[in-house]
């Protein structure tokens, strides 16, 4: 049985002030002895990946007297995911994402989210795609 080791670190940050909600996160992992063996030494190559995103949302509670509009929150988000150390995995997974969405807050702990996600794959042979997404969240 082969044993491996990994290092994982990251950070996240959030700012909420007034109507703004700004967030970001970064993760990096280094994995040793998990990849495929290289041809020269029979030892697996090191594999690493990193992912990050930044997001900004603005609650429309101060721009209208309409209760419906006051509960809306436009959101934009950008992020990347990259793998290094395994050529096949790099080709399949490396991507950039851009999201634009609209949240509707039923209460401070219940939100419905809708948005479009545009995925741009770094591999030329992989076709970019666009996804329509919906989510219902409840916080406690």
| pLDDT value of position 79 | 97
| pLDDT value of position 43 | 64
Give pLDDT tens digits along the chain (140 positions). Answer: 456 788 999 999 999 999 999 999 999 999 887 555 555 556 667 888 999 999 999 999 989 999 999 999 999 999 999 988 877 777 778 899 999 999 999 999 999 999 999 999 887 778 889 999 999 999 98
Provide the number of structural domains found in the chain: 1
The answer to whether residue 90 is domain-embedded is yes
| pLDDT value of position 46 | 80
| pLDDT value of position 41 | 59
The answer to whether residue 37 is domain-embedded is no
The answer to whether residue 5 is domain-embedded is no
Contact 52, 25 (CB under 8 A): yes
Say how far apart CA 108 and CA 115 lie, in whole Å. Answer: 20
The answer to whether residue 112 is domain-embedded is yes
Q: Which domain holds residue 126?
A: 15-24+49-138
| pLDDT value of position 44 | 63
β-pairing, 95-107 vs 72-84, is: antiparallel
The answer to whether residue 70 is domain-embedded is yes
């Amino acid at each position: 049985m082969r044993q491996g080791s990994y290092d994982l670190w990251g950070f996240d940050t959030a700012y909420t002030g007034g109507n703004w909600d700004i967030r970001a996160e970064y993760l990096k992992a280094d994995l040793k002895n998990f990849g495929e063996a290289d041809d020269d030494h029979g030892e697996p190559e090191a594999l690493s990946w990193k992912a990050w995103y930044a997001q900004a949302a603005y609650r429309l509670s101060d721009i209208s007297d309409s209760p419906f509009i006051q509960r809306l929150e436009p959101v934009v988000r950008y992020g990347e995911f990259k793998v290094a150390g395994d050529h096949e995995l790099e080709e399949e997974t490396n991507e950039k994402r851009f999201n634009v969405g609209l949240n509707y807050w039923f209460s401070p702990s219940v939100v419905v989210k809708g948005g479009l996600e545009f995925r741009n794959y770094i591999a030329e042979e992989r076709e970019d795609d666009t996804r329509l997404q919906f989510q219902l969240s409840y916080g406690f």
